[in-house]
Structure 1
Amino acid sequence: MARSRLLPDNFTLYLVATVILASLLPASGRLAQVLEVVTTAAVSLLFFLHGAKLSRQAIFAGIGHWRLHLVVVAATFVLFPLLGWALKPLLQPLVTPELYTGILFLCALPATVQSAIAFVSMARGNIPAAVCSASASTLLGVAFTPLVVGVLLSQNAGMGDPLDAMGRIGLQLLVPFIAGHLLRPWLAGFLQRRASVMKVVDQGSILLVVYAAFSHAVIDGLWSQVPLSALAGLLVCCAVLLGLVLVTTTWTARRLGFSKEDEITIVFCGSKKSLVSGVPMAKVLFAANVAGAIVLPLMLFHQMQLMVCAVLAQRYAKRVQAPVEVPAGVAAGPQR
């Protein structure tokens, strides 16, 4: 079982196949224009459905745990960007400038929702707090990600005005999310009965955006500009970044006296970066000819975080629960 969790999942294989397809048959001309409209609509539909799926009870159940949420937000939007900036002199020589721009973009992204909650559940952590933290991170990313990317990038790197990008991201992601949540009373039952619809939209929209981004990049000579040594260096960069964040979030949770269940939530929500939010944000924030190189670090980090966190979740799940204290004067039961 542990070994199977280290293997790429089906969606990762679909992503690899999409990159190969875009490399061999990139979309251009009229097809690229149609694909632009279709991907925008698909991403908006995705966030509409995510809003409809999010339970208001789950929000209220976890919203009061403000100390935990502050730690997760700090890890997501402060610790990650600081590490990306501080490690630049050490890690940038391992990759191309475009790929390190993608790493900085990765550092500015919000946390995942589905996988973070799934791992917290697997590890027997604080699930209501995880739902609240991960969902809040997605919403905060609409405002924080463009601003943090603007601060991290000393040069334009194909990026437009962060404030203008914030408005476009809000229109494409946040407005559909809120609309879906407001319509939840009418849609929740349908989504529960038709879980496959959510999965198709979820994965299909990301694959469409990845295909469009890599099509532009391939036409502009992406693979001739990215040597194999840079791809190997990218693997090292992602591993160093993920390892430092996991160690730091674990140490911080214990230092601040959080329970083991809260520590699990902080570690898994604070170390994740969202492919679902990141790919469409890259499409908005960066010019089409550089978007492919920008999302490549995110795709690699996405698979790495899934594999590493699967192992961590299993280790947490095997922990022994604290014994129940027996009041003084009460005889203990027979030992077995």
Structure 2
Amino acid sequence: MAFRTIIADPMLRLLVAAVVLAAVLPIPSAQSASAQTIANVGIFVLFLLNGMRVSRSEIGRGLLNWRFILPMVLWVFGAMALAGLGLSKLLAIGLPPLVAVGFLYLGVLPSTVQSATSYTTLADGNVGLSVISAALLNILGVFVSVPIFLLLGGTGEGAVGMETIERIALILLLPFVTGQLVQGWTSGWVARHKSRVVWLDRLVIALAVYVAFSGAVEQGIWGKLDPAAWGLIAVGIALFLAVGNAGAWLVSGALRLPRRDRIAFLFAGAQKSAAVGVPLATILFAREEAGFIVLPLLLYHFFQLVLAAPLASRLASPHLRDDACYTEPTTRS
């Protein structure tokens, strides 16, 4: 079931295709600036559409549920960021610096929206809370992921200066805020073209992956990562998956959340967004660095789906409901 779910995921198929294309036909260095410009235009449009889609009323409702949202924010941008920092330090002994710092970068990213919500639905969790919390985390991530990354010392081998901050503001923040401001006039158009908008999202993210990974291929990623290094990366991904999933479940239990809310907390708290992480990396880092840094994110994105599908099915099983931590809704209108 897990394999069928992964193969059926259009976003994952596009990401794999982008990596394979970059491996066999990378963008030549002479065309890298033009390719990056095209990717940046696509990212601008992507975040403009995100601003149009996320309802301000949903943001308000999510903020009111502070008992869920506040611990979720602290978990995603606090505990997971520190876990990423620890792994980056631990794995630095056997990995190129840019790949090691990729684990810190992975740690500071927000949750997914689509897959976290999909698996919450499969597991019979609180879908509405999952949608709102994942959307809020993505919005917050645009503002806080980079500052947290820099605060924890994650500059890679390059410097992040005012020019980079200006690019982030221009390509990510400006279109998102603009989308929020105009969504009263554009919501109907977005709703009518929902499927096309979703495919545009996927294609822009795949393009950003292609541009970033082309840079890594041009810099000789296959020669810089021997089998031992790939083994260390696999260990790092496995540890981060364990921390993310087990930690989110235990934290939600310690908060005594209802079971359906715990499921929403689990999938929103353990997953990481390639939709935010890859475009942000292509802006934050030089092209020849970005491909190395997003490598842990791309692998984590794949394996979080490998784990999430059977986990959601198991959580949906009625015999696994523990009355001590499961609260049935008292009334339904």
The interval holding the TM-score normalised by the smaller chain is 0.7 to 0.9
Query: 2:291 & 2:156 partners in 1: Cα distance?
Result: 16
Partner residue in 1 for 2:295? 296
| 1:313 to 1:167, Cα distance in 2 relative to 1, 3 A | farther
Alignment check: 8 A CA contact 1:62 1:131 kept: no
1:84 is matched with which residue?
Answer: 84
- Once residues 36 and 328 of structure 2 are traced to their aligned partners in structure 1, the CA distance between those partners, rounded to angstroms, is 57
Partner residue of 2:157?
A: 157
Name the CA distance, whole Å, in 2 between partners of 1:17 and 1:229: 25
1:225 corresponds in structure 2 to: 224
The answer to whether structure 1 residue 110 and structure 2 residue 97 are counterparts is no
User: Is 2:266 the counterpart of 1:243?
Assistant: no
Post-superposition CA distance 1:86-143 (Å, at most 9, x none): 3445444453332111111111112222222222233232233323322222222223
Between 50-59 and 278-287, report the one with greater CA deviation: 50-59
Farther-moved stretch of structure 1 (206-215 vs 168-177): 168-177
2:259 is the counterpart of 1:254: no
CA-to-partner distance for each residue in 1:10-39, whole Å, 9 max, x for gaps?
432322222222222221255322212211
Q: How far apart, CA to CA, are the structure 1 residues paired with 2:235 and 2:298?
A: 14
Match of 1:142 in 2: 142
Larger Rg: 1
The Cα offsets for residues 206-247 of structure 1, whole Å up to 9 and x where unpaired, read as 111111112222222222111233223212211111111211
Per-residue Cα deviation, 1:263-307 (whole angstroms, up to 9, x for no partner): 112111111111011011111222221111111111000111122
Q: CA deviation at 1:58?
A: 2.6
Residue 308 of structure 1 aligns with which residue?
A: 307
**Larger deviation: 118-127 or 208-217?**
118-127
Instruction: State how far apart, in whole Å, the 2-side matches of 1:23 and 1:102 are.
Output: 19
Q: Output one character per residue of 1:164-205: Cα deviation in whole Å (capped at 9) or x when no partner.
A: 544432321122122223322332223323233112211111
Q: Which string of whole-angstrom CA distances, capped at 9 and with x for unpartnered residues, describes residues 50-102 of structure 1? A: 22122334333332111211111111111112112334454444533321111
Indicate how the Cα distance of structure 1 residues 164 and 317 shifts in structure 2: closer, same or farther if over 3 A, else same.
farther
**Counterpart in 2 of 1:20?**
20
State the match for 1:95 in structure 2.
95
Normalised by the length of structure 2, the TM-score is 0.88
> 1:8 deviation in Å?
6.9
- Aligned residue pair count: 324
Tell me if the contact between 1:79 and 1:245 (Cα under 8 Å) persists in the aligned partners: no
One-letter code of the match for 1:234? I
SS of 2:294's equivalent?
Answer: helix
Question: Are residues 14 and 88 of structure 1, via their aligned partners in 2, closer, same or farther at CA, if it must alter by over 3 Å?
Answer: closer
In the alignment, the residues of structure 1 paired with residue 157 and residue 75 of structure 2 have an alpha-carbon distance, to the nearest angstrom, of: 25
Counterpart for residue 9 of structure 1: 9
3-state SS in 1 of match to 2:157: coil
The letter for the 2-side match of 1:53 is R
Please state whether the residue corresponding to 1:100 is helix, strand or coil.
helix
Distance 1:279 1:125, change over 3 A: same
Match of 2:190 in 1: 191
- Say if 1:275 and 1:302, in contact at 8 Å, map to a contact too: yes
Secondary structure in 2 matching 1:183: helix
Moved more, 142-151 or 275-284: 142-151
Q: Secondary structure, in 3 states, of the residue corresponding to 2:112?
A: coil
How much has 1:260 moved relative to structure 2?
0.9
Aligned residues of 1:117 and 1:127 also touching (Cα < 8 A): yes
Amino acid at match of 2:245: L
One-letter code aligned to 1:108: V
Indicate how the Cα distance of structure 1 residues 238 and 288 shifts in structure 2: closer, same or farther if over 3 A, else same: same
Structure 2 runs not aligned, ≥5 long: none
Distance 1:29 1:242, change over 3 A: closer
TM-score (norm. length: structure 1):
0.87
Cα distance in 1 for residues equivalent to 2:25 and 2:106: 27
